[in-house]
Amino acid sequence: MSTRFRPLIQVQDDGLHIPEVREWALEKYSLVGGYGDIFTSGMYKKWNQLAYIDLFAGAGYARIKETGKIYKSSALISLSLPHQYTKYVFCEKDDKCFEALQIRVKRDFPNADVSFVHGDCNEKINEIKGSMPSFSRGNTLLPFCFVDPYSLNLCFKTIQVLAETLMDFLILQALHMDANRNFDNYMSENSQKIEQYLDDKEWRKKFDENSLNKKDFVKFLFDQYHSKMLEMQYQPEKQAHQIKSNVKNLPLYYLAFYTKHPRGNDFFDKARKYVNPQLGLF
C-alpha cells in the first residue's frame, strides 16, 4: 500500500456548490481513492493509457453533515492521485454539481485530459463511451469505472455498454438503503426499477419460484446482479465491501467490485486496507 497518498483530502469552502453527504461517505472515498492509487501505481508502466470513468461524478467537493468538514469527493480524488489516469470522463446530471465540478477541475487540474458529460448516465452512455480514448495493439487502454448512484437508479444496460471493453467496475449497490426499504413497492407490477436494474423482466418469477420473502430480497438482488456480471466474463469471486451506519451500525449499501482479471481482485483486496473492512456480505 502506498505511503504517499491519503484518499481523504480535506479542503476549504471555495464558494461553489457543495452537496451534503453523511459521514459514512468517507469510507467510500477511502476505498475508491485507495483502489485508484494501487491501480494507477501498478499499471501506469504496463499500459499506454489508463482511463477513469465516473458515472455519478458529483461536484468534486462534499460536506459531511455530521461535522461540517469538506472533503474532495471521487472525481477530484481521482485527479489527485500520485500517478494520474491519462483520461477522465465525468458524468453528472445535477446542474449545480456539474457546473461546480467543471470549475474546480479546470481551476485545480488545468492540464488533465477530462471530458464532461452533462445528464443521466443511463441516457448518455453512448456519449460517455464515445469520450473514452481509442486504443490499439500499440496504444493500449485499461479503464476503471466508479458508479455511485443514490439509489437503484442504474440500468444494467448501462454497465453492459461499458463492459464491452476491458473495464473494471466499483459499483455502489444501494440494496439496504433503497431495495430493502421499498420492497413492497418494487414487488408491485407497476414498478420497473428492478427490471431495469437487472435488465430482467422475469425477476419476480425467479424470486417467487425460490419461495423467498422480504428478508431474502437484498441477497437475491446481489446474487442476481453477480450472475449477470458472470455472463460478461467477470471473475466469479464475490468482492464487496459493506458500508454500515455510524450511528446504529446497520448495513446501508455495498461497494461491489468486478474485474475480468485476477490481478484486479488482488488490487481490490489491497485497497480495502485503506479502510476498516467490515467483512462478510450477508
Alpha helices in the chain (DSSP H): 25-43, 74-79, 95-108, 125-131, 156-162, 183-187, 193-198, 203-209, 217-230, 262-271
Assigned domain for 185 exists: no
**What is the CATH number for 118?**
3.40.50.150
109 within a domain of the structure (yes/no) = yes
- Give the three cell numbers for residue 147: 458508479
Residue 171's H or E segment, with its range, is: strand 168-173
d(CA 95, CA 117): 11
Q: Within a domain: residue 224?
A: no
Query: Which residue numbers in the chain have pLDDT < 50?
Result: 1-2, 277-282
Distance between CA atoms of 239 and 232, rounded to whole angstroms?
A: 16
Domain residues for 40? 10-180+237-272
Q: What is the pLDDT of residue 252?
A: 86
pTM for the predicted model, two decimal places: 0.93
DSSP 59: T
How many domains does the chain divide into?
1
The pLDDT of residue 280 is: 42
- Residue 77, in any domain of the structure: yes
Q: What does the pLDDT read at residue 3? A: 54
Residue 107 lies in a domain: yes
* Position 282 in a domain: no
Residue 212, in any domain of the structure: no
Residue 165's pLDDT is: 87
pLDDT at 249: 76
Name which of 30, 29, 50, 32 is nearest 41 in CA terms: 50
> Is 278 among the domain residues?
no
Give CA–CA dist 120/91, Å, rounded: 8
Instruction: Return the pLDDT at 276.
Output: 57
Give the pLDDT of residue 5: 84
